[in-house]
Chains A and B, each alone.
Chain A
Amino acid sequence: MNNLGELKDLIIKYVEQLDEDKVVSLATEALDAGLEPLELLGVVNEGMSRVGKLYENKNYYIADLIVAGLIFRQVLSLDKMRAHFYQDHKRPLGKVVLGTVQGDIHDIGKDIFKGMLEANGFEVTDLGVDIPKEVFVENVQRVKPHIVGLSGPLTNTIETMKEIVEAFVKAELRDQVKIIIGANHMTTDICRYIGADSFANDATIGTKVCLEWMESINKQGEINDEKSGIH
């Protein structure tokens, strides 16, 4: 049997290489050898962040990120990991309400973004696809998220997204949330036209933006779940 230090290094290496079988068997071995679930999560996250770097350097692409996500979920579904994390009611890093806007039923990009946000400690309320503005407004009132994510790969959703932002203004919610829009065709001009705070052409950029937002929110003090305090 490997010692724990070696096991941890190997897990990081095989996450980086996207070797699902090896990661799962080594993770099981490490848990059996007494590695704490939280520590294992940290180890897998280190591997994930190396995958992220390979992606940024254009050695890896979206397909690789999806596989990394599959491996991450496999590890989380190991018995000891489930037993630990299902009991743990840690406060999330931040809350996000996410959905594909009305008129559009695409979900791949939204799901990748959701997976990345969750891996980074966000609590995500996924409204699904083809979501009308009223449902976005209702859920923001109910969940009180820090961030709202609007997805819509079809180019005709630009107008729909604009209407959703306007609905937030009307419901006096606009200054309580940050809004990020995601699709391949998004540009600064479109973001401005829609009235969102930021945009992302891919899920990793979107996740980065959300993390930066949470960092600046946290700098303002403890997050108040009743009112986000984002301005």
Chain B
Amino acid sequence: MADMKALQQERIQLFKDLYDNKLPKRVPINLVLSVEFAIQYAGMDLAQAQWDTSMLEIAFDKMCGDFITDTNPAMAFRYPSYYKILGARNFVMSSSGFLQHPEVHGFETEDYDYFIQSPYDCIMERVLPRIYTELDTNPVQRSIVFAKAFKAFFDDVVNGNIIIAKLTEKYGFSPIGGFDGFCEAPFDFMSDQLRGFKNIVGDIRRIPDKVVGACEAALPLMIKTGMPPHPPSPYGATFIPLHMAPFLREKDFEKYYWPTFKKLVDDLAASGQSAYLFVEHDWTRFLDYLYELPENTRMMFEYGDPKLIKDKLGKKHILTGFYPITLLKTATKQQCIDKAKELIDILAPGGKYMFTFDKNIITADSVNIENLQAVLEYVSENANY
């Protein structure tokens, strides 16, 4: 136990150094494996264990013991219970038991004016009953459904978090290095959760001013959502998965996406909370914009040239990602290790780099487990400063 405490302190120091602009002892590893991965890896039934969250402790424990990482790899983010109670159309399970976000919308063109005037009321009164079918009823029944869903939400999330916290102590993981909040860029929130991908791109041609107004109206909601429920710390971060920018031309990005996104990250930083961005798809066109974000913004890149991105952003921001998880599926063990070495050689010099993959590993069969373990072992033993 004392050994684990010492190990945990060592790992915490890696991340503190990373965030304090010092060279850590070695490159920290911030592996994230999904709840679906954990369940499948433990040989459990995906649908059953997501419902009966008491099964998760065994699944997470096995995963925490078998993969080398400095932060707890278990990510339990969404559970089906409350989505089912709500009759959700925006998060549904596929036949394999995998909870996903289909392209739906609960916000019509005629809702823009009300949303701009009063975003929260518009979401509560109009959008939620369209997305969550069980809320589309009389006010009394709606309140009951809402209360039940929140009870289920807190039961499952709190249970998951207790398990994760316990395993963090058991395996000596660093509690810092990941994130402790979540929100979206206002334009992404409008696109993903309200209007849908296909509708929003029509809107920016048909009613451009309303889209701008809606993003501005969504901004305060996103800032509020993104603040953690405890005082911010320089070692915490709010996770913001970035979605729509690579699908937009630069002129549209500049007008619709960037202003409120930048303000969101700036305002969080001004309150003492950093952002952990999942820079989804290819943002090569927008690197100069990303540079402008507050120092030490964490950026997990999916695609793009690591060398170019290190040169442009690596002295100001903290980089991670890039390693293609598809390689873990198709390549040999040596090829996988070589790729890790190649990326570390580019990204580690000067610090401000932690190791993780280009996307979260969502199921056990999407990678070759031995390759994954070999890469983690290689990084943990060889990426020393």
Q: How many angstroms from the CA of A218 to the CA of B116 in the assembled complex?
A: 54
Chain B 365-384, CB-CB to A under 8 Å as 1, else 0, gives 11000000000000000000
Given known A185-B326, A189-B331, A193-B330, contact A63–B204 (CB-CB < 8 A) = yes
- Picked from B197, B204, B366, the residue with its CB within 8 Å of the CB of A108 is B197
Tell me the number of A-to-B contacts counted with CB atoms below 8 Å: 97
Return B98 CB to nearest CB of chain A, in Å.
Answer: 6
A156 and B252 contacting across the interface, CB-CB below 8 Å: no
- Picked from B98, B198, B202, B204, the residue with its CB within 8 Å of the CB of A156 is B98
A171 at the interface (CB under 8 A from B): no
Interface size on A, residues (CB 8 A): 34
A103 and B98 contacting across the interface, CB-CB below 8 Å: yes
A158 and B98 contacting across the interface, CB-CB below 8 Å: no
Interface 9-residue window, one of B88-96, B163-171, B178-186 = B88-96
B362 at the interface (CB under 8 A from A): yes
List CB contacts (< 8 Å) of A174-231 with chain B.
184-185, 187, 189-190, 192-193
Q: Which residues on B sit within 8 Å (CB–CB) of A154?
A: 98, 100, 362, 366
Q: Which residues on B sit within 8 Å (CB–CB) of A190?
A: 326, 329-330
List CB contacts (< 8 Å) of B294-337 with chain A.
324-327, 329-331
Q: Which residues on B sit within 8 Å (CB–CB) of A67?
A: 201-202, 205
Given known A66-B201, A108-B197, A158-B326, contact A102–B94 (CB-CB < 8 A) = yes
Return A50 CB to nearest CB of chain B, in Å.
Answer: 15
A46 at the interface (CB under 8 A from B): no
Q: How many angstroms from the CA of A47 to the CA of B210 in the assembled complex?
A: 28
Name A131's closest neighbour in chain B (CB-CB): B95
Q: Which residues on A sit within 8 Å (CB–CB) of B248?
A: 61, 63
- Picked from A62, A66, A132, A159, the residue with its CB within 8 Å of the CB of B366 is A159
Name A158's closest neighbour in chain B (CB-CB): B329
Return B17 CB to nearest CB of chain A, in Å.
Answer: 32
B249 and A102 contacting across the interface, CB-CB below 8 Å: no
Name A154's closest neighbour in chain B (CB-CB): B362
Name B201's closest neighbour in chain A (CB-CB): A63
A155 and B359 contacting across the interface, CB-CB below 8 Å: yes
B94 and A187 contacting across the interface, CB-CB below 8 Å: no
Interface residues of B (CB under 8 A from A): 92, 94-96, 98, 100, 102-103, 197-198, 201-202, 204-206, 244, 246-249, 252, 281, 324-327, 329-331, 359, 361-363, 365-366
The 8 A-B pairs with the shortest beta carbon distances in the complex, nearest first, are A103-B96, A156-B366, A156-B363, A63-B201, A62-B247, A189-B330, A155-B366, A66-B201
